[in-house]
Amino acid sequence: MSNSAIAKLQDWYRQQCDEEWEHYYGINISSCDNPGWWVKIDLACTSLSGCKFPEVKVGIDEDGHPHAAEWLRCYVFNNKWQGTGDPSKLEEIIDTFLAWNGNCRN
């Protein structure tokens, strides 16, 4: 197995698939018009559901909008882990999720 962030995220996804979870939940990676990336990961029915995640904000104003060329925001809302960032931050967003996954203890 590769050690890339994408390979590790694929492995996490594969571990959640139980012939049920994948029909209702999943991972969404999309571009956004700030410009940048938006990663949404469903936490329902995973070991991460209910695990505390300390919000990450870099280059983000009080309203939650980017105010700098380099920006990153990761948070949990409605049992979804969400990571957003400028066009250079996709791997960092995924790495932030993976680090939390590795450290979370319910």
Q: What angle do CA 85, 21, 94 make, to 5 degrees?
A: 20
Torsion, Cα of 69, 8, 82, 68 (10° steps) = -10
pLDDT of 1 strictly over 60: no
pLDDT mean over 9-19: 97
Does residue 9 register a pLDDT over 60? yes
Q: What is the pLDDT of residue 104?
A: 85
Per the document, the length of the chain is 106
* Coil vs helix vs strand at 75: strand
User: Is it the case that residue 72 has pLDDT exceeding 60?
Assistant: yes
Question: Whole-structure pTM over 0.75, yes or no?
Answer: yes
